[in-house]
Amino acid sequence: MPLRQFHSLSQLIDELLEAVCVVDRQGVFVYLSPGAQRVFGYKAAEMRGRNMLEFMHPDDKDRTLLAVNDIMAGQVKTEFENRYIRKDGSVVHLQWSARWSETEQVRVAVARDITSHKQVLQQLQHLAFYDCLTGLPNRALLMDRLQQGLARCRRENRVLALCFVDLNKFKLINDQHGHAAGDAALCALATALKTALRDTDTVARLGGDEFVVLMDCQNAAEVAPVLEKLTQACQLTFLWQQQSLPLEASIGVALYPQHAVDADSLLCLADQAMFRAKLQWPHLCFAGSVSTDRSEK
């Protein structure tokens, strides 16, 4: 449509997919463009005269008010993000460009709906940090949590237990029952580990049949009962094509700061202890003497 057919600037604004909003010093909407209904789900008339905080996601209010103070102090915000609650109760993710008009004593802002963009980012982040088979954190996320756990334990004088868990005779399951059965066995073990542990613990899959458990504890005495549950969880059966197949896993444990103080050393010592655990019952061994015989795997 030729530009000359628009008779005023307001008609141009009405055609925008974004919402143009004008808010007074108290945070009350004094103007909203028709695009507000696409963004917020409310008609402009339903929002006009009401405070913006009435529509905002409660978890974002404090952060938004800090940004409002910056804007009213003269800063121009071009990519500020927060969430609002739409009329139908759904959450919309918004990206704002805003500035303060000292002359008119209002904030002028444009809101763009970035909900779909956020959903795509969340999916990509999940693929980057979680194992696609078991849904557990992968190596990348494990290492991040391990570094955070070590930093917290150093600050608070706590104990971090790193457990290397390996499914015994996994190759035999694949050879006798097929790789689908092997995948089912890994998922069964993952579920058993998650169920046995505390919400504060981390269970991750490194790859293949190798898992790692992180347990942040007040002291070494707190580790023992959690390890007992972990050991029991590693002895289970799972149903495959109407057959009950037994599973068992070996566990190697290394403690910060007793056995090592850095991430790589803890992983290495726990891995070595796990291979020693395969030779004993129950299949649990703490870091100590090194064994290089891995023929039992």
Could you list the active site residues?
A: 209
Q: Could you report how far apart the first and last alpha carbons of the chain are, in Å?
A: 72
Q: How many CB atoms lie within 10 A of CB 151?
A: 10
In degrees, rounded to 5, the angle at the alpha carbon of residue 172 between the alpha carbons of residues 182 and 196 is 50
Measured in degrees and rounded to the nearest 5, phi and psi for residue 140 equal: -60, -45
Distance from C-alpha of 275 to C-alpha of 79, rounded to nearest angstrom? 52
For strands 243-256 and 284-286, give the pairing.
parallel
Concatenated DSSP letters of 175-189: HHH-HHHHHHHHHHH
What is the maximum span of the chain, computed from C-alpha positions, in angstroms?
A: 86
Distance from C-alpha of 262 to C-alpha of 257, rounded to nearest angstrom? 9
Residue that is written with structure tokens 């057959």 in the block: 243
Residue that is written with structure tokens 């963004």 in the block: 39
Which DSSP letter does residue 285 get?
E
- Tokens for 116? 């779909």
